[in-house]
Structure formats: structure tokens, C-alpha cells
Amino acid sequence: MKLLTYGCMLALVCGVTVSCTPGEQGEQTRGDELGERSFEEPVEHNLDELTSRIAGLDQQIRSMIGMAYADNLEQCRLAEIGHRPCGGPQYYMAYSTTALDEEALLELIAEHRALQTRFQQENDIVGTCEVLPRPQLTLQGGRCVASPTAER
């Protein structure tokens, strides 16, 4: 009996709360008067768009770098890609200057980093603040490779 009474009171309170919310029966909320975005409008749309752009840029960077074929080590470079919340790159990737437009690649990397930084700041993203050691560039089988350095 106590449970039934509690349930009825809860339903009554919820019913009153719902019927008292602003915006019903022709009332305007303060945000509507100012032409601001309604509380119910999904912010996720912008979030999804931003994460999709970041993922797309990441894929473009990886595709542009490809297999990173080179004739010698002087043609190899190391790209710092992405941004960690505490600073530094998300990861490193070796690329070759022989078969790609390096300026275009660096522009993609800069845009990717800027968007990722923005995403992290706008969403209060935190990280583990670990430092990724900078890999060493090597030439293996005619390809530029980012090899891990020895741990100290």
C-alpha cells in the first residue's frame, strides 16, 4: 500500500512538473525571445561533424603518406600528427618526400591538429599526460619507417 501511494505521488509530481514547464500553451522562453538556440537542439550535430572531419583528415594524411617509399634516408621525414590533451603529438608517422606534395601534407597535418585541439578544449578532454618518445627514422626495404628509440 505504501509503495502504491509513493507511486501515485511520484506520478502526480511528475505530471505537475511537466505541465508547469515554460514554452507550453503559447508561452515563449527567454532563449526563444532572444533568438537563441533552444535547449533541446542537439549539440551532438556539431560534435559529430567535428569528429567526422578529424577522422577524414586522419584518413587523408595516411593515404597521402602511403607506403613511404624512398631511395635513401635523406628523403625520409617524421610527421607529428594530432594533438594530445597535455601537449605533443598523438602519434608519429614516417613519410617520404619522393612521391608526395610535402606542403599539402603539412597543411593537412596542421588542420588536423587544430581541429583536434579545438575538440579537446571545447569538450574538456583530458589525457594521461604521458610523453611519447620521438621515434628514429630508418630506411627498411626501401621504405621510411619510424622505429622506436631505446628506452632509458
Q: What is the pLDDT of residues 47-78, one digit of tens each?
A: 889 999 999 999 999 999 999 999 999 999 99
pTM above 0.75, yes or no: no
Q: Are strands 91-96 and 76-81 parallel, antiparallel or unpaired?
A: antiparallel
Residue 143 lies inside a defined structural domain of this protein: yes
Domains held by the chain: number: 1
Q: What is the 3-state secondary structure (H, E, C) of the chain?
A: CHHHHHHHHHHHHHHHHHHCCCCCCCCCCHHHHCCCCCCCCCCHHHHHHHHHHHHHHHHHHHHHHCCCECCCHHHEEEEEECCCCCCCCCEEEEEECCCCCHHHHHHHHHHHHHHHHHHHHHCCCCCCCCCCCCCEEEEECCEEEEECCCCC
Residue 100 lies inside a defined structural domain of this protein: yes
- Structural domain boundaries, residue 114: 47-127+134-147
Amino acid 151: pLDDT: 53
Instruction: Please check the confidence at residue 16 and state whether its pLDDT lies above 50.
Output: no
Amino acid 45: pLDDT: 55
Instruction: Please check the confidence at residue 35 and state whether its pLDDT lies above 80.
Output: no
Residue 122 lies inside a defined structural domain of this protein: yes
16 or 89, greater pLDDT: 89
Of these ranges, 19-33, 43-57, 115-129, the one predicted with the greatest mean pLDDT is 115-129
Amino acid 127: pLDDT: 87
Residue 21 lies inside a defined structural domain of this protein: no
What are the CA-CA distances from residue 60 to residues 4, 65, 74 (Å)? Answer: 60, 9, 24
Residue 40 lies inside a defined structural domain of this protein: no
Residue 34 lies inside a defined structural domain of this protein: no
